[in-house]
Amino acid sequence: MNIAIIAHDGKKAEMIQFLMDYKAILIQKEIHLVATGTTGEKAEKAGFNVQKVLSGPMGGDAQIAAKVAQGEIDLVIFFRDPLEKHPHEPDIFMLMRLCDVHNIPLATNPATAELLIRAV
């Protein structure tokens, strides 16, 4: 299973904590992580193997959206910061729309991500 992980700057620590909390499931289920650049770097520092794409503002969200459209991603966990403005919002909305178009589960907060990971 391929899971994309993305986190806005204000949510990166929360993403890493989430990954640590569910590390046993990720390892047991042999889940392959794909991440935007900075999120991926932080996940690697925490001991996870991650395939990194560009950072979100540099096109990483669009790269993950393309992987969703090509059937290469099974689940997206995107801890968004809804209180901040992001210059790459069109890419974010494209990713979310493509998850809906291709029926890919999308978690935008830890509560939903927890439900999806437990269901894996």
Task: List the catalytic residues.
Answer: 61
Half-sphere exposure of 82 (CA within 13 A, CB side): 2
Count the neighbouring beta carbons within 10 Å of the beta carbon of residue 38.
Answer: 20
Task: DSSP for 27-50, please give it.
Answer: HHTTPEEEE-HHHHHHHHHTT--E
